[in-house]
């Protein structure tokens, strides 16, 4: 894999991710401000298809399927980030599917997801600019982790969010819109496009017309810039802030003893 480059960054030094119940925060330790994550805002956007599916299969089955899907997605994300980080610091990136004992580190379908990213990178990515970067957006009052900012052949510089999912949600467009705003605010980059790298796309191979960037099982799913995403974000923001109208929007930090000791009575 080709070498990449990365912007000078100090954001990681003072941004911490904290998850509290159903709300995830990104905390700026310099200013002491807690910013709800982008995905926390998106949770307030109704998803009728998801609600219908949960009612159909039951909460227990739905939770198990969601957990397994999230676990696989995290594994694929981590390997992709590992490869990109290697390209930031060196000339070659490598990840071995098998460990020293010949045991698979990933399931076959997860490894396929990694191989699809490699195909996308080798054929279309000209430069890696940011990878798995924690950012805070003061204008939107949010925080998030941007998967990838890269220069892509024929498209320019884009904000790309990896998705190892069976389908594409409408909220993904809003998510990349928020990430784009944070990248522009923090770095002043000119972003030409935003997209999801869909690693489970229902496509059989390259686009014969040459208009779409895709391969077997993957696609760079493009999102158009319009007022819709901002409008949906503002609605989600209103609903989130309404929930916390009677209490401060911040994680509840609890301190626990590290051990307990009882004396017989």
Burial 219-242 (b: 16+ CB within 10 A, else e): bbbebeeeeebeebbeebbeebee
What is the average pLDDT across 109-135? 96
The pLDDT of residue 254 is above 80: no
Provide the 8-state DSSP code for 106: S
pLDDT at 10: 46
- Could you tell me if residue 81 is inside a domain? yes
Cα dihedral sign, 88-91-95-100: negative
- Could you tell me if residue 248 is inside a domain? no
pTM of the model: 0.85
- Could you tell me if residue 258 is inside a domain? no
pLDDT tens digits, one per residue of 100-117: 999 999 999 999 999 999
**Confidence band (pLDDT; 50, 70, 90) for 215?**
very high
Q: Which domain holds residue 200?
A: 11-243
Per the prediction, the chain carries an average pLDDT of 86
Tally the domains of the chain. Answer: 1
pLDDT at 261: 81
- Could you tell me if residue 47 is inside a domain? yes
pLDDT tens digits, one per residue of 38-52: 999 998 887 666 565
What is the average pLDDT across 140-166? 96
């Amino acid at each position: 894999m080709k070498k990449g480059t990365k912007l000078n960054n100090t954001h990681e030094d003072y941004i911490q991710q904290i998850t509290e119940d159903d709300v995830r925060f990104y905390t700026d330790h310099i200013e002491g401000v807690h910013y709800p994550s982008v995905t926390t805002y998106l949770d307030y956007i109704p998803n009728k298809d998801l609600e219908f599916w949960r009612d159909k299969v039951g909460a227990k089955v739905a939770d198990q399927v969601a957990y397994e899907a999230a676990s696989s997605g995290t594994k694929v994300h981590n390997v992709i980030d590992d490869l990109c980080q290697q390209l930031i610091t060196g000339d070659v990136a490598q990840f071995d599917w098998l460990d020293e004992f010949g045991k698979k580190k990933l399931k076959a379908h997860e490894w396929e997801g990694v191989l699809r990213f490699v195909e996308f990178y080798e054929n279309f990515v000209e430069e890696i600019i940011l990878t798995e970067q924690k950012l805070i957006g003061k204008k939107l009052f949010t925080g998030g982790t941007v998967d990838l900012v890269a220069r892509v052949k024929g498209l320019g510089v884009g904000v790309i969010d990896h998705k190892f999912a069976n389908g594409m949600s409408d909220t993904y467009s809003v998510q990349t819109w928020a990430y784009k705003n944070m990248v522009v605010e923090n770095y002043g980059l000119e972003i030409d496009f935003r997209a999801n790298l869909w690693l489970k796309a229902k496509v059989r191979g390259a686009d014969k017309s040459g208009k779409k960037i895709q391969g077997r099982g993957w696609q760079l799913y493009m999102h158009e810039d319009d007022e819709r995403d901002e409008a949906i974000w503002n609605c989600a923001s209103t609903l989130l802030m309404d929930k916390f109208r009677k209490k401060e929007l911040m994680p509840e930090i609890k301190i626990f003893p590290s051990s307990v000791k009882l004396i017989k009575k």
